[in-house]
Amino acid sequence: MKDLFTKLVLALFLCASAWQISSVVPVQAEELSINYAQADQVDKTKVTELIFPKEGDIGFSIATIRRTQEEANIPEDYQHYHTRNPLYQYPNLKRILVEEGSSQYECRDGVLYAVEKKNNKRHLLCVPMNYEGVVHIAKDVVGIISPALDQCEKVTAFEVEEGNPYYYSKNGVLYENRRDYGICLRAYPAGKRDTKFTIPSEVQYMNDGAFANNKYLKEVEFVDEVNAIPAAAFENCTSLEQIINVPDELRGIGNCAFEGCEKLQLFDLPKELTSISGHAFEGIPPVKKIVFPSKCMGAVLSGLKMADGGVMEVKGPWMGMEMEDIPQEGNFIFKGYKETALYKTMKKMSNVTCKPYKTSLYKHKTKKIKKGVKGKGKPSTSWYKKKKKVLYIKTPDQLAGMQKLCKKGIDFKGKRIVLKRNLDMSCYRSFEPIGYNAIEEFKGTFDGNGKTIYNLSIHRYDYNYVGLFSALRGTVKDLQLKGTNVYGRRYVGGIAGNVFNGQIKDCKVSGTVKGYSHVNIVGMYFYDPSE
């Protein structure tokens, strides 16, 4: 009886001990292996192993891979949106398997590849999102599709087999060597625990999402050769505090480039910067001061927060920004040219104090030439006769009247407009171009008749297709412009901003014609042979 009692007490003690241990030691999560064909029948978030069948296409063709690879290696293209891991629906996926006998796919160390049997080459398709440790890339791997390495936060290093002509690794970082484009920093491991990193001097550009999701990096130093920060380059780098030595020649910052960098102190924007794409700085701490350089044509600042009392300064005239892109919270100071549309928009906002520059955009060095017939600064349309095929321009006000007529829908098709005298346009501080942005086009013939238009000033910094003619589908001939001051955004020309199946003959322009891009005597010429 006593032995029985002792045994009972001991059993209860063991049960209690077992319960106590189970309450302290975490239970190992159950691993779920599933065939790809049956994936829709289970909770994909619980899948740890995915088996692909030997027959059938799983959605990756070699043609698609090659096209994606080619696009990913164009250094000038930094603006396409960052894509997700092909198997993003399986966040706990550790490995991939392929059934024996597959002619299209194979797996190596749990990583999925596409196979070209004819030349025995491989394309890396996907690293599972929950893959841990080092990703080994063999020498026969010729391509890595753009999103293949995305969101793999437990990858600590990349190792490339010696002899691979396209890829190599240094200190666990993956690089790509395409002779036509130079060296690309392909991927910095999201699980790499270093806090500082200096981009090697040989690197010329970075891949989308190059540093994305790394939670350890605090400081990244750039090299001068890199001229753009691509889409999602540092997305969700939550420990990142500082970007050092931002290149002076940096021209673009891509979509979501620093989104989620909650500790990042905004660096000074370089003088050559021309554009900032959507959500680039969303989630960073409130900005005390941001200065947009004179060459910055546009910025999408969605998500950017200004510190209370902070300063936003726009040094150039070409800044394009929509209302939804302007920080709505916090009181801040805006500095810029009062003649621009952006300044006028900021002026209307209750939380913004506007301070204009002392200098004006309208003050330019080109001296006015005292020649030609002067006008009164009041456009005249009385000279226009609907039934006449030949019409004459004798004053600056009549020339300005052409713009008014075009705006009413008169395109002058089949008519010849002859300039009878030299004109002095100085009475118009900012002449409005004839024709409007390819909507109300001039389709007739403007005959300069060997005459000269002096002192033409057009200041339309926020507009595209700027010139004496905005949109021209007809002919301009035998005309000179002297003492010209024409300023626009894109497609800026002395004679015309946009010529569509039109002609420019024996025309000359002297003075200043300036814009962000596509600037000449004609901003853009387009010919459609089907018309």
Place of tokens 């003619």: 469
**Cα–Cα distances in Å, from 271 out to 177, 299, 322, 383, 501?**
29, 14, 22, 49, 37
Q: What is the residue type of 330?
A: G
The per-residue pLDDT for range 87-101, each reduced to its tens digit, is 888 899 999 998 888
The per-residue pLDDT for range 214-239, each reduced to its tens digit, is 999 999 999 888 989 999 999 999 99
Number of folded domains in the chain? 2
Of 209, 242, 259, the domain-final residue: 209
Q: Quickly state the pLDDT bin for 241 (edges 50, 70, 90).
A: very high
pLDDT at 182: 87
3-class SS at 513?
Answer: strand
Cβ-proximal residues to 414 (8 Å cutoff; 6+ apart), any chain: 389, 444
Residue numbers of the domain that contains 117: 32-209
User: Rounded CA gap, 129 and 110, in Å?
Assistant: 11
Question: Does residue 434 lie in a domain region?
Answer: yes
Greatest distance between any 2 Cα atoms in the chain: 131
* H helix count then E strand count, the chain: 4, 36
Q: Quickly state the pLDDT bin for 6 (edges 50, 70, 90).
A: low
Question: Does residue 317 lie in a domain region?
Answer: no
Cβ-proximal residues to 409 (8 Å cutoff; 6+ apart), any chain: 440
492, 463 Cβ separation under 8 angstroms: no
Of 209, 231, 257, the domain-final residue: 209
Q: Quickly state the pLDDT bin for 8 (edges 50, 70, 90).
A: very low
| Dihedral sign from CA coordinates of 365, 370, 373, 377 | positive
User: Rounded CA gap, 208 and 228, in Å?
Assistant: 11
Question: Does residue 382 lie in a domain region?
Answer: yes
For residue 373, pLDDT beyond 80: yes
DSSP 8-state secondary structure symbol assigned to residue 54: S
pLDDT at 531: 60
The per-residue pLDDT for range 445-503, each reduced to its tens digit, is 999 999 999 999 998 888 889 999 998 999 999 999 999 999 988 899 999 999 988 99
455, 481 Cβ separation under 8 angstroms: no
Question: Does residue 269 lie in a domain region?
Answer: no
For residue 277, pLDDT beyond 80: yes
More confident position, 187 or 114: 187
pLDDT at 366: 64
Question: Does residue 1 lie in a domain region?
Answer: no
Of 209, 239, 259, the domain-final residue: 209
Q: Span 304-313, mean pLDDT?
A: 93
What are the DSSP E strand ranges found in 110-251?
111-116, 121-126, 133-137, 141-144, 155-160, 167-170, 173-178, 182-187, 196-198, 203-206, 219-221, 228-229, 242-244
Question: Does residue 226 lie in a domain region?
Answer: no
pTM passes above 0.85: no
- DSSP code per residue over 363-427: --SPPPP--SEE--S----TT--TT-SEEEE-SHHHHHHHHHHHHTT---TT-EEEE-S-EE-TT
Cβ-proximal residues to 525 (8 Å cutoff; 6+ apart), any chain: 499
Question: Does residue 186 lie in a domain region?
Answer: yes
DSSP 8-state secondary structure symbol assigned to residue 529: T
pLDDT at 365: 61
pLDDT at 27: 37
Question: Does residue 27 lie in a domain region?
Answer: no
**Cα–Cα distances in Å, from 377 out to 17, 128, 360?**
98, 69, 21
For residue 430, pLDDT beyond 90: no
Other beta carbons within 10 angstroms of residue 186's beta carbon come to 24
Q: Span 169-175, mean pLDDT?
A: 96
In 3D space, the residue among 236, 315, 232 whose CA is nearest the CA of residue 268 turns out to be 315
In 3D space, the residue among 158, 153, 267, 172 whose CA is nearest the CA of residue 216 turns out to be 153
Cα-based angle 421, 514, 322 (whole degrees, multiple of 5): 120
Q: Cα(first)–Cα(last) distance of the chain, in Å?
A: 110
Percent share of the chain, pLDDT over 90 = 54
